[in-house]
Structure 1
Amino acid sequence: MADDYYQILEVPRTASAEDIKKSFRKLARKHHPDVNPGNKAAEERFKQLNTAFEVLGDPKKRKLYDEFGEDAAKMGFDEKKAEAYRAYRSARASGGGGGGMPFPGGGGGVDFDIGDILGDLFGRAGGAGGAGFDVNEMFGRRASARGPERGEDLNAQVTVSLAEAITGTERQLSFQRPGRCQRCNGRGESGTSGTCPTCKGTGRTRRGAGMPFAGACPTCNGTGRASEPCPQCEGTGVTEESTRLTVKIPPGVQTGSKIRVAGQGAAGERGGPPGDLYLETEVAEHPLVRREGDDLYMDFPVTVTEAMFGAEVKVPTFQGEVTLKIPAGSQSGRKMRLKGRGAPSLKGGTPGDMYLVLQVKVPESATPEVKSAAEVLARAYSGDVRQELKL
């Protein structure tokens, strides 16, 4: 089986219905997308948990799953089809067979076409319904050679400055990746054919275990001839390539943000679609501005005169210069808010704000005039400025 529902829910096959429910709830909370935003592995795990619990949490579905495994889902968890398939397996084991044979169902005989049942299990060959269903042909197609496959997703890291993270930017990337083979255009075939290596030119192979069927060769579809693989990519349709790519970094990214560039991952094998490229951003620290979420903070120096009497001053922001009015009597540490001048929201919400933390700066020179002015200021204090400091 591709996935064992009991293993997915981390319970033994003998687990009670209550134990299954408890385990599902615990794992669902752990892997819920809201708890793991942007984590594709957790999102996929959450989907698997729901699929597994949908079956094992239902007593009838669980019973059929225990007997038929993943084939129970392909039968739609239909008890009549399951009963018919049991009878068919029994008939095959005792030497019986034949499509369209009557099977017992429930209280009386019900006509089932084995083509319908096996079509649901393994993929229907031809049109709907059981008429004209070729079991041998079906098994040949089921085991056919691998077709096109989607390419793998690729990951890369890009570093941007805080200014670029706020306003957005572009980056030119140069890297190696599995690309589409130019010689065969990704098909994996050379264009010339030879004797099929699977059936040795007969066009027929025997497939299946326990009840084997002779059917059309899956590699050559019964023709006995198969296209030779491309010598450059050895039949995969993929070769290593160097590429240059210009990508846009949207405004508002943070360290750890992931940017999806659709279709720029590895090429798909045998003509399959390419994967995606995911860029993880790292935002370099800024010497003057620090970021907390979408808000920005900057220490902003003001003179003694500006702090005492108030003033209008120019403030640089990442979106351009603005004018700030400093109230009279401002002290060091006072926060002044510039609404909407922080980082944009990646999710399209309200942008953050920019906070200026005032820092009153005294003159660096100590001329007689400055010293005299400072003495006048000293007499203006009403008491000890540190009298409230008690540890």
Structure 2
Amino acid sequence: MMVQDYYQRLEVKREASAEEIKKAYRKKARQYHPDHNPGDKVAEEKFKQLNEAFEVLSDAKKRRMYDEFGDDAAKLGWDEGKAAQFRQYRSGGFAGGGGGGGFNVDFGAGGGAVDFESILGEMFGAQMGGNRRRRAAGPRAGGDLSTSLEVSLRDAVLGAEQNLVINGRGITVKIPVGVETGSRIRLSGQGEPGERGGPAGDLFIDITVADHPLMRRDGQDLYMDLPVTLGEAVNGGDVRVPVFGGSVTVTLKPGTQSGTKLRLRGKGVPALRGGTPGDLYLVIMVKLPEKLDDAAKKAISAITYDSDVRGKLTL
């Protein structure tokens, strides 16, 4: 019996859209991420529960299985075939279905035998009891694994590679350009090993993008405060600006004010799956000298304005 279902963990309705589920996960992942709550075991457990819920609800097939059968079916990767078999058994559609008879049912020509003891054993994690005969088990796929990874904003913009250790194995993860908090990377065949020749499961990596001390991200756009001198603001001129992967030169107009935004098209975050990248917005901040001699103060005081700088302030 579940203490709290996956929808409750993400605080969304059962009919929530995929986008609503993604937004809810991002919000709560930021709140409980271990890097933001060092040493907090409660937050760490909450984060694990969020990842578990998002892994299922973000996958349309797993979500359907979860909605009908619960978390065990979703975790075990039930497909429509197993689900259909169990529905028919549950409704009494097979010989012995719903009762105490044998579970190994023959569909007839071309159908093959269906071992409901195996199906129910997987779902409930136990043998169903009774003197039931079981056919030889075949290959079984390995389970999926999930982990979390925090990346820098720089790596999210430029892409990168990071090394992880999963169950004692070293794995190199390629961080694609444009990832954001809530993005999920899937590495096929890097999960738990299969049994009896079955394929290995997959590894899912949930991404959190760390805050940057200078850059602010809004979707694919980036914002950065750009300090300029009083002389640059008054007289205008070229200013060199560092950006991820290099630098650019911007031209200030004479009389540039603090708060002015300069838009650099295409210098934001690249689109995750191709397309037009975002923009970089530079917010001008006129930086006054911390110390001025008397001559400089006198010269500045002599500056005149065309109008009262506070003339439009009304409350």
Q: Same fold (TM over 0.5)?
A: yes
Secondary structure (helix, strand or coil) at the match of 1:119 reads coil
From 189, 198, 208, give the equivalent of 1:282: 208
Kept in 2, the 8 Å contact 1:150–1:274? The answer is yes
Task: Give the whole-Å Cα distance in 2 for the aligned partners of 1:49 and 1:284.
Answer: 32
For residues 297-343 of structure 1, what are the alpha-carbon distances to aligned partners after superposition, in whole Å with 9 as ceiling and x for unaligned? Answer: 11101122221221111111103111101122211001001111111
Unaligned runs of 5+ in 2: 1-12, 26-53, 70-85, 96-105, 115-132
Q: When the two structures are aligned, how many residues end up with a matched partner? A: 231
From 56, 63, 70, give the equivalent of 2:88: 70
CA shift at 1:160, angstroms?
1.7
1:129-278 paired onto structure 2 within 5 Å: 143-176=134-167, 242-278=168-204
Kept in 2, the 8 Å contact 1:258–1:281? The answer is yes
Mapped pair 1:118 → 2:108: yes
For residues 211-245 of structure 1, what are the alpha-carbon distances to aligned partners after superposition, in whole Å with 9 as ceiling and x for unaligned? Answer: xxxxxxxxxxxxxxxxxxxxxxxxxxxxxxx2111
Cα 1:31/1:342, change in 2 over 3 Å? same
Unaligned runs of 5+ in 1: 1-25, 53-67, 74-81, 87-114, 125-141, 177-241
Mapped pair 1:342 → 2:294: no
Cα 1:72/1:173, change in 2 over 3 Å? closer
* Structure of larger gyration radius: 1
Task: Give the whole-Å Cα distance in 2 for the aligned partners of 1:262 and 1:49.
Answer: 22
Q: What is residue 61 of structure 2 aligned with on the other side?
A: 44
Q: Give the aligned residue type for 1:152.
A: G
For residues 172-206 of structure 1, what are the alpha-carbon distances to aligned partners after superposition, in whole Å with 9 as ceiling and x for unaligned? Answer: 11231xxxxxxxxxxxxxxxxxxxxxxxxxxxxxx
Task: Give the whole-Å Cα distance in 2 for the aligned partners of 1:256 and 1:362.
Answer: 40
Q: Give the aligned residue type for 1:148.
A: P
Kept in 2, the 8 Å contact 1:339–1:353? The answer is yes
Task: Give the whole-Å Cα distance in 2 for the aligned partners of 1:322 and 1:41.
Answer: 43
Q: What is residue 103 of structure 2 aligned with on the other side?
A: none
Cα 1:263/1:49, change in 2 over 3 Å? closer
Q: Give the aligned residue type for 2:143.
A: E
Kept in 1, the 8 Å contact 2:229–2:286? The answer is yes
Cα 1:34/1:304, change in 2 over 3 Å? closer
Cα 1:335/1:71, change in 2 over 3 Å? same
TM-score using structure 1 length: 0.52
Q: Give the aligned residue type for 1:250.
A: P
Cα 1:72/1:279, change in 2 over 3 Å? closer
Secondary structure (helix, strand or coil) at the match of 2:136 reads coil
Cα 1:370/1:353, change in 2 over 3 Å? same
Q: Give the aligned residue type for 1:351.
A: P
Kept in 1, the 8 Å contact 2:241–2:247? The answer is yes
Secondary structure (helix, strand or coil) at the match of 1:308 reads helix
Secondary structure (helix, strand or coil) at the match of 1:316 reads strand
Q: What is residue 112 of structure 1 aligned with on the other side?
A: none
CA shift at 1:119, angstroms?
3.2
CA shift at 1:50, angstroms?
11
Secondary structure (helix, strand or coil) at the match of 2:109 reads helix
Task: Give the whole-Å Cα distance in 2 for the aligned partners of 1:120 and 1:69.
Answer: 20
Cα 1:41/1:318, change in 2 over 3 Å? same
Q: What is residue 95 of structure 1 aligned with on the other side?
A: none
Cα 1:31/1:385, change in 2 over 3 Å? closer
Q: What is residue 278 of structure 2 aligned with on the other side?
A: 352
CA shift at 1:292, angstroms?
1.0
Mapped pair 1:315 → 2:305: no
Kept in 1, the 8 Å contact 2:144–2:203? The answer is yes
Secondary structure (helix, strand or coil) at the match of 1:163 reads helix
* Sequence identity (%): 43
Task: Give the whole-Å Cα distance in 2 for the aligned partners of 1:315 and 1:71.
Answer: 68
CA shift at 1:372, angstroms?
2.0
Kept in 2, the 8 Å contact 1:71–1:121? The answer is no
Secondary structure (helix, strand or coil) at the match of 2:212 reads coil
Q: What is residue 43 of structure 2 aligned with on the other side?
A: none
Task: Give the whole-Å Cα distance in 1 for the aligned partners of 2:66 and 2:16.
Answer: 9
CA shift at 1:122, angstroms?
4.7
Q: Give the aligned residue type for 1:384.
A: D
Q: Which has the higher contact order (CA 8 A, sep 6+)?
A: 1
Task: Give the whole-Å Cα distance in 1 for the aligned partners of 2:140 and 2:214.
Answer: 49
Task: Give the whole-Å Cα distance in 2 for the aligned partners of 1:160 and 1:35.
Answer: 23
Cα 1:299/1:323, change in 2 over 3 Å? same
Mapped pair 1:385 → 2:301: no
